[in-house]
Amino acid sequence: MFLGTSGDPIAVSKQLRKSHGILLRLGEVVFFLDPGPGSVSDAISKGLNLRELSAVVLSHRHLNHAGDANAAISAMTLGGLDKRGVLIASKELVDGNEQKPPVIDPFFKKAVERILFIEDKKKLGVGDVDIVAEKLIHDDESFGFKFFSHSICFGYISDTEYFSGLIERFKGTDVLMMNVQNPFDISTPYRLNAEDAVKIINGIKPSLVILTHFGSKMLHADPIIVTREIRKKVESEIIMAKDGLVIEPRTYSLGSVQERLKF
């Protein structure tokens, strides 16, 4: 479920759409990807039980991805009373370093059962889902992920610029979710626009592409019109995410995950 689909600071601060935050269920495992500010209370107000979360996953430290990280862990662990669940994040976000403070409060760091630190190409596991982190290029350290369940490979390209090798990293993805902040003809450093999205989709050829994380310029251009233009240039099915959208990704499996799990 897409709790929110806004991208840049203007779209988030004005709440042109709700803040980024995605709940991804693969079999019995439920991930909360990039809980932006307000996404936890939004999930709860929708009647979703965040005690069922298996893991909170942070691609990077920006507010619209990690603003509710501690709140998400709190909801997963009943305010820290019930030590459970997994946190997936880089060491910098969990422990901080000389340049940057941690994003995770020490109390909530102790509230989870396990912390899995992200590194480029590192293979992680939660339940029967294997996860591979893929380093991206953004104005802060940022990672994308490939989630391998028995039936599907779900890819998430978080905030990044287009770079050579990006397509290779996400080859074999059945369903690809991608943060595309800008429409055609508008570029901002370290972010994708619709033109980049076309290149990536034609390189990876997933069954389904879900575009999300829209900046104010994309919202102004109208994601529906931008999608129509993208569809003319690619063969994959494209969905533009909306706040509250629910998608069943398994129906888009290419059915060859077992092959691709041999890495």
Task: By CB under 5 A, name the binding residues for Zn ion.
Answer: 62, 159
Q: Which is nearer to Zn ion, 151 or 187 (CB)?
A: 187
Q: Considering beta carbons, is residue 161 or 174 the nearer one to Zn ion?
A: 161
Considering the complex, what minimum distance in angstroms separates the CB of residue 41 from Zn ion? 22
Cβ at position 21, least distance to Zn ion in Å? 14
DSSP string, 33-77: ES--TTHHHHHHHTT--GGG--EEE-S---HHHHTTHHHHHHHHT
CA separation for the pair 59, 62 (Å, rounded): 9
Q: How far is the CB of 227 from Zn ion (least distance, A)?
A: 22
By the 8 A CB rule, do 39 and 18 touch?
yes
Cβ–Cβ under 8 Å, residues 147 and 141: no
H-type helices in 49-172, by residue range? 63-66, 69-76, 91-95, 106-111, 166-169
For Zn ion, give the closer residue by CB, 62 or 135. 62
CB-nearer residue toward Zn ion: 94 or 153: 94
* 18/76 with CB nearer Zn ion: 18
How far is the C-alpha of 185 from the C-alpha of 162, rounded, in Å? Answer: 14
Q: Of 159 and 195, which has the nearer Cβ to Zn ion?
A: 159
Nearest distance from C-beta of residue 141 to Zn ion, angstroms = 10
Nearer to Zn ion, 59 or 77 (CB): 59
| Tokens standing for residue 52 | 């069922």
Query: In angstroms, what is the minimal distance from the CB of 59 to Zn ion?
Result: 8
Q: From the CB of 62, what's the least distance to Zn ion, in Å?
A: 4
- Which tokens sit at 20? 């980024």
Paired tokens of 226: 């931008």
Q: How far is the CB of 90 from Zn ion (least distance, A)?
A: 13
DSSP 169: H
**Buried residues in 201-222 as b, exposed as e (16+ CB within 10 A):** beebbbbbbbbbbbbbbbbebe
Contact 242, 5 (CB under 8 A): yes
Rounded Cα distance, 41 and 74, in Å: 12
